Structure 1
């Protein structure tokens, strides 16, 4: 049995992982959705990583087989867990890949994201204020509306903190790239990985920026592929 620690992105809660947890537990695995202290101005990235550890250890102690899954801004937290627990694999799901000493606030300009997003918006004809079209365009309307109700405040503390590792951990890392992601378009992701995680080839899966809501069964299948 594999334990999957599910690390959310900015300003989201455990609700987002519900459909994926159902898929993973239904296949005989343990899924732990982590509640990060994202609305706590006193919490730093190290506290986020500690929250992952506490969630994973609750009930069963240290798991024998641990996979840490980081979504979006969760890419800044997931690698830090490797300094605290024995992790078999890191899986980044349409996630940010930090550089040493770089904050999440700096990441956007450093990776060329504003230009990539502007090009994608022009291609799609999206109103920049339409967050549903950006994040949830392939999610059922009722689910998208519920997702918006589960948004949390994201403190700037962790977002503006320099990433505290000197480099990427020596742990097998996979990147699941969502084909229909408007926030992190495929061409942008490929360029980012080529510069920051050389040798990691993105694996394309269906879905927008929240595949755990749009295609949970497909995402579970990708996570379980070895």
Structure 2
């Protein structure tokens, strides 16, 4: 059995993982999917990581998964809990000392074509789920976004990167380059857009289970 630690992105909550969580539990795995304190103006990345570590408790056999902005929290957690695996799912990959607000220009994302939010994030999510996601949207405060990412060096943990073939927010070819430049990892690709936990939960659960089983 693996314990999957599922970390949501900006404006989201643990709910964004609920379909993947159900699929993993059906396969006999444990799941930890906390709400990050992203709507609290007074907290930074360290408190985000504290929230996840506290939710993990004394669990072992950990695969830590960060979606989108959750990629800034996931490595902090992985280093503190001695995770077996770290997975970025359409995730932002930080560098030590770089703030999330600096990340856009540093990776070249600022030069990408932008479009409406609905077309960026929910174009392949079932309408009822997209509507519920919008209803549950939370504020992402700027406090952590302005602070340097606090990890001094990358944790000693195996990493995988999984991209959505049709991701309009973090396009596949651009994301492949970022994964190579920052992690030395060749990214994997599956069908779907940016919100893979909602648009392709079953396939995403399958991928995560296979990653964890590969050791």
Residue 43 in structure 1 maps to residue 28 in structure 2: no
Which of these residues, 132, 146, 152, is aligned with residue 132 of structure 2? 146
Say whether residues 1:87 and 2:83 are aligned partners. Answer: yes
Residue 107 of structure 2 is aligned to residue 111 of structure 1 = yes
SS of structure 1 residue aligned to 2:59 = coil
Tell me how far 1:150 sits from its aligned partner: 1.0
Matches within 5 A, 1:98-137: 98-116=94-112, 118=113, 128=115, 130-137=116-123
Counterparts of 2:73 and 2:60 in 1: how far apart (Å)? 21
Alignment length, in residue pairs?
211
Q: In structure 1, how many angstroms separate the alpha carbons of the residues matched to 2:82 and 2:97?
A: 24
Post-superposition offset of 1:207: 1.1
Q: CA deviation at 1:2?
A: 0.7
- 1:206 is displaced (CA, Å) by 1.5
How far apart are the structure 2 equivalents of 1:54 and 1:39? 18
Instruction: Give, in whole Å, the separation in 1 of the partners of 2:95 and 2:61.
Output: 27
Partners of 1:32 and 1:166 in 2: how far apart? 26
Question: For 1:5, what is the secondary structure of its paired residue?
Answer: strand
Q: Any stretches of 5+ residues in structure 1 without a counterpart?
A: 122-127
Structure 2 unaligned residues grouped into runs of 5+: none
CA RMSD of aligned residues (A): 1.0
Give the corresponding residue for 1:184: 170
Aligned with residue 171 of structure 1, among 141, 147, 157:
157
